Structure 1
Amino acid sequence: MTDRIGADLVVESLAVEGVTHVFGLPGTTVMDLIDALARDGRIRYLSTRHEQVAGFMADGFSRAGGAPGVCLASRGPGAANLAIAVQNAHDESVPMLVLIGQVPGSITERRSFEEMDVVAAFRPMTKWAVEIHRPERIPELLQRAVRTAVTGRPGPVVVSLPLDVLQAAAPEEVTPGPRVRFHPPAPDPAGVAEAAALLAAAERPAIIAGGGARDRAALLELADAASAPVVSTWLRKNAVPNGHPAYLGPLGYGAHEVSDQLVRDADVIVALGCRFSEFTTKRWTLVPPSARLVHVDVDPAELGRVYPPRVGLVSDATAAAHALTAALPRLVAADGGRAERRRQRREALRKEYEDASALPPSEPDGSGAGGVSSPALTRAARNLAMRQGIVLVQDVHTFGPWMARHVAVDRPDSYYGSAGGAMAWGFPAAMGMALARPDQRVVAISGDGSFWMVAQDLETCVRERIPVLNVIVNNYAYGNTRDRQRTAHGGRYHGVFLGNPDFAAYARLLGAHGVRVTADGELEPAIAEALAHPGPSIVDVVQDRMEGLPPGLTPPAAR
């Protein structure tokens, strides 16, 4: 029987916190931890082919509603390879626990092999970074790390675990404490009254739902009580059912003019769980100075960071929405017909949004210029979005604005997009989501540039039998950069066109299902065939190398 060591305390603490999966890559300083996971047996450990993929899988696992996503890497280069995933999770407020093996304390500060100051390196991109120096403190600090990751504005937490701490004997009396979670803050009643009065007196109200607005029912009750239209922030269109009469689409890159104009014209804006990012606000030009802003966020540091609010409420978005809804009826009843005018305005704007969201036709011959047309791919994505049991994952690619403009998402928790900007997020995140939601089928839509950055981990997907369908939008280009060179650099294309393999043949080589599509009429049958396959699948959607953005849309200039 193996004596109990620090690594066992790590696993015991993770189990108490509800962790069910750990994604990582083996390395010298974490072998004792991997062995402890194997001996304990309660937590599934999955090895990836690159630490970045392990981080993105943990990110996807967290977003899909499982226990906190956990990733694992060894010192130095392994830790550095995780940095992209950690930074992306920090930018998108995704709770994640990052465990990094470290050189033993007896040889620190000697530039030992792969030595790295983990805490200093990761502190700017985490909620907290800590190194544990004694085995008896593992439960205390590791459980605090999980609480920190999931409390308030969520985010990644890094825990550095020196090898000697993992190998040290664990005192028999040291055991993890109970799992503890804190209730989110409720809004101040006086602030709610002031905010409700502003909203009730508005002629042109707008509600902006951000990533912190996770309760659809509470949000829609507020929208209906105020007769106010709702827009979501960039890539957060799953915040409300897109078919609801109050919804006017997402803001950000690819937004319809009616969505942007709603904010420009607003006299009162209620922003729920929204941090006013660069893309959502069109580089901070969208919100008019004259608008009276009610800003709700669980993190007080966000209030006034970009726009000083008339009323700032430090609160969980759901609690604030409920409180505002409860405060409105008496005020609205005495508004002299203002609510009816708002209702009629909302109906007219909704009709305008529905007209704008209509899908442009495909090419007359039924195929794109040398491949599958984007309208055909958009129709396929729309059909997937309507199917029960399907989760759509949108990577960072040129096809994204087509989805923003023309794909409606009505089912809760059925769409996820990456607003952090990290290419290659989609496929690994979809793998993590599929493990968190084994009863649903996860479909990732990736660009060819993104997929090829993490293509080696299709082997992980096959080995671990993760039934992800990845649709690769294959235009042989870094499409976003190509379009910027077209619009901002006189069509001088340099370093943006790619030489791709047959991705379907590559999938079959690794034991996955693979099919290549070169014309519009082949696409939907290929997707149906892939969904019928019980394991991982690739649908390689070949497009013309200049296929890109929706008509009339140009990429924002680099400034």
Structure 2
Amino acid sequence: MAVPARTGADLVIECLAAEGVELVAGVPGTTIMDLIDSLARQDAIRFISTRHEQVAGFLADGVSRSGAGLGVCMASRGPGAANLAIAVQNAYDESVPLLALIGQVPADVVERRAFEEMDVLATFRPMTKWAVEVHDVRRVPELLQRAVRAATSGRPGPVVVSLPLNVLQATAAATPAPRRRVHPPAAAPAAIEEAWSVLATAQRPAVLLGGGAGGDPGTYLRLAASMNAPLLTTWLRQGLVPHADPVYLGALGYGAHEVSERVIAEADVLLALGCRFSEFTTKRWTLISPDTRLVHVDIDPEELGRVYLPDVGIVADAQLAARALLDAAPPGLPDGSARLAKLRTAFDEASSLTDEAPGSGVGSSAVVRGLRELAGRAGILLVQDAPSFGPWTQRHLRLPRPRTFFGSAGGAMAWGLPAGMGIALARPDHRVVTVSGDGSFWMVAQDFETCVRERIPVVNVVMNNFSYGNTRDRQRVAHDGRYLGVFYGNPDFAGFARSLGGHGARVEADEDLSPALENALAQDLPAIIDVVQDRMAGLPPGLTPPVAR
């Protein structure tokens, strides 16, 4: 039977559908109008029109992090592509799978400085796993399938596909390539045996989980328990495991407890699973002792020895390696149960929440208490943006269930609302609550209208201290309180929400926060809770920002 000819745009959308993609976010533009028209003529994939390309990219990032599938975004040439770059770079830094489709000028005018022409590949290659431009409509199925595989296999990350207008409008008798997935590598038996030859000698072992430690959290917990080893996570990855487990000892990074850092600093053997030893996690690469013996498991061979040379380096999927290590655990390991219990007691004491010094507005400790209540409920997902409030949750938020907390460690402000939108769309059986600073939120607040229009009931908690808190604190500590450019005015965020058809509440006292959260969750609407704080509200007591380097 003859294959009917279809346009390149139709082939792109058919390829996405064949890969299981259910959602694409983007901003309409000249060179992607054929893609949008193709989306309009089918019902397998939903198109979300955002008000800014950065939001589309962060929304797709949220879809990927939700675990519900690959996030896909699109932008037109030139300025649209440039607006998307922040989200692409953040996904690259955090190893988040992402597929970005970018329209390009047609081939007959390329290199003439045509309207909005840019070199898409040169722009995006440094921040992607792969960037490719399609020059022949017949190759759309081949290259789209390869792009999806590249984004999702090995160490995941963003892939950019540049689509010239002439390719989208040309026709070909082609069909989507069959869906293919690459199974992750398991650890070699000899590597597991060698790993235990090091791990079994430990008197002060520790286990460190990074963002690459996917799969069943119980596997990691049982492995740590078999070693009598405290288990920690890297910065902002504390959602990997339930916090009530006796082996859990917190997350490293900015705001970590002293007892958590001491476990790593004093470890004689460290088992690192799916982590890359980032700057914050390692206190700028000073936390791990040169005398610590390291067993490092990562799916990307380039990570083994990049920062710390391991005694045993294993190229494998973290979950598969953890299962193999657990199955091969030797009998008679040193009994470290008393040490582990003592460390856990110290961690629980450090994690207890006390009120900060009184000031005007809502205290950060009250917000943590409200978030603790939500974290204890089934069906709630918490999303943390990049505000100076972050160390409060780092230190004091307790998560009873794994995979219910999402935080951005890439440093990009304005991630919270869009990522929350993507997570909510991908996980409609859950309610999503985002926590953002006012500076981050106002960068993308226009897309609260998208939430209303598309009926995305995200509850946005905005920590409103009328300042860029992180920079303000650095100016206070490092520049003798010479403040410049960090204080500003804000609108009534609750009124803003209502003006767009959403739910809005303004909270100015501690006791009003929990009722406001309850009321917002009772609505079938997107919501903004405007949490008004003192303009100097910020870090937990005793914590100072790290030195800028």
TM-score, normalization by structure 2: 0.98
Deviations along 1:175-205, one digit per CA (max 9) or x if unpaired, are 0122111110011211211111211110000
1:530 and 2:520 aligned: yes
1:140 and 2:134 aligned: no
Name the residue aligned to 1:257. Answer: 258
Deviations along 1:118-158, one digit per CA (max 9) or x if unpaired, are 01100000000000001110000001100110001000000
* CA deviation after TM superposition for structure 1 residue 300, in Å: 0.3
Q: Gapped runs of 5+ residues in structure 2?
A: none
Q: Distance in 2 between matches of 1:263 and 1:66?
A: 33
For 1:91-240, what aligned pairs fall within 5 Å after superposition? 91-171=93-173, 174-214=174-214, 215-240=216-241
TM-score, normalization by structure 1: 0.96
Q: Is the 8 A contact 1:362 1:376 kept in 2?
A: no
1:83 and 2:80 aligned: no
For 1:13-24, what aligned pairs fall within 5 Å after superposition? 13-24=15-26
Deviations along 1:506-554, one digit per CA (max 9) or x if unpaired, are 0001111000000001110011000001010000000000011001000
Name the residue aligned to 2:43. Answer: 41
* CA deviation after TM superposition for structure 1 residue 362, in Å: 5.3
Q: Is the 8 A contact 1:148 1:157 kept in 2?
A: yes
Name the residue aligned to 2:468. Answer: 478
Which amino acid counterpart does residue 313 of structure 1 have in structure 2? I
1:513 aligned residue (487, 496, 503): 503
Q: Distance in 2 between matches of 1:55 and 1:191?
A: 39
Which amino acid counterpart does residue 488 of structure 2 have in structure 1? L
Q: Distance in 1 between matches of 2:192 and 2:67?
A: 30
Q: Distance in 1 between matches of 2:195 and 2:67?
A: 31
Q: Distance in 1 between matches of 2:429 and 2:304?
A: 39
2:52 aligned residue (50, 53, 57): 50
Which amino acid counterpart does residue 140 of structure 1 have in structure 2? E
Q: Classify the secondary structure of the residue corresponding to 2:41.
A: helix
Q: Is the 8 A contact 1:108 1:115 kept in 2?
A: yes
For 1:91-490, what aligned pairs fall within 5 Å after superposition? 91-171=93-173, 174-214=174-214, 215-328=216-329, 330=330, 332-333=331-332, 335=333, 338=334, 340=335, 342-361=336-355, 368-490=358-480
Deviations along 1:374-416, one digit per CA (max 9) or x if unpaired, are 1111101111111110000000001100000000112121000
Q: Classify the secondary structure of the residue corresponding to 2:48.
A: strand
Q: Distance in 1 between matches of 2:337 and 2:240?
A: 21
Q: Distance in 2 between matches of 1:234 and 1:264?
A: 16
Name the residue aligned to 2:32. Answer: 30
Q: Is the 8 A contact 1:238 1:410 kept in 2?
A: no
Name the residue aligned to 1:541. Answer: 531
Deviations along 1:416-435, one digit per CA (max 9) or x if unpaired, are 00000000000000000000
* CA deviation after TM superposition for structure 1 residue 361, in Å: 2.5
Q: Distance in 1 between matches of 2:79 and 2:140?
A: 24
Deviations along 1:221-252, one digit per CA (max 9) or x if unpaired, are 21111111101000000111111100110000
Q: Is the 8 A contact 1:202 1:268 kept in 2?
A: yes
Q: How many residues align?
A: 545
Q: Is the 8 A contact 1:382 1:408 kept in 2?
A: yes
Q: Classify the secondary structure of the residue corresponding to 2:419.
A: helix
Q: Distance in 2 between matches of 1:288 and 1:53?
A: 41
* CA deviation after TM superposition for structure 1 residue 3, in Å: 7.0
Q: Is the 8 A contact 1:233 1:250 kept in 2?
A: yes
Q: Is the 8 A contact 1:33 1:166 kept in 2?
A: yes
Which amino acid counterpart does residue 128 of structure 2 have in structure 1? T
Q: Distance in 1 between matches of 2:201 and 2:502?
A: 58
Q: Is the 8 A contact 2:417 2:460 kept in 1?
A: yes
Deviations along 1:495-514, one digit per CA (max 9) or x if unpaired, are 00010011000000111100
Name the stretch that deviates more: 90-99 or 216-225: 216-225
Name the residue aligned to 1:496. Answer: 486
Deviations along 1:98-118, one digit per CA (max 9) or x if unpaired, are 000000011101000000010
Q: Gapped runs of 5+ residues in structure 1?
A: none
Which amino acid counterpart does residue 63 of structure 1 have in structure 2? R
Which consecutive aligned stretches of 4+ in structure 1 deviate over 6 angstroms post-superposition? none
Q: Classify the secondary structure of the residue corresponding to 2:328.
A: helix
Q: Is the 8 A contact 1:97 1:149 kept in 2?
A: yes
Q: Distance in 1 between matches of 2:226 and 2:386?
A: 36
Q: Classify the secondary structure of the residue corresponding to 1:531.
A: helix
Q: Classify the secondary structure of the residue corresponding to 2:539.
A: coil
Q: Is the 8 A contact 2:204 2:269 kept in 1?
A: yes
Q: Classify the secondary structure of the residue corresponding to 1:83.
A: helix
Q: Classify the secondary structure of the residue corresponding to 1:40.
A: coil
Name the residue aligned to 2:8. Answer: 6
In 2 relative to 1, CA 489–362 (structure 1 residues): closer, same or farther, beyond 3 Å? closer
Q: Is the 8 A contact 2:360 2:534 kept in 1?
A: yes
Q: Is the 8 A contact 1:204 1:266 kept in 2?
A: yes
Q: Distance in 1 between matches of 2:451 and 2:139?
A: 36
Q: Classify the secondary structure of the residue corresponding to 1:306.
A: coil
Q: Distance in 2 between matches of 1:144 and 1:177?
A: 9
* CA deviation after TM superposition for structure 1 residue 325, in Å: 1.1
Q: Is the 8 A contact 1:128 1:148 kept in 2?
A: yes
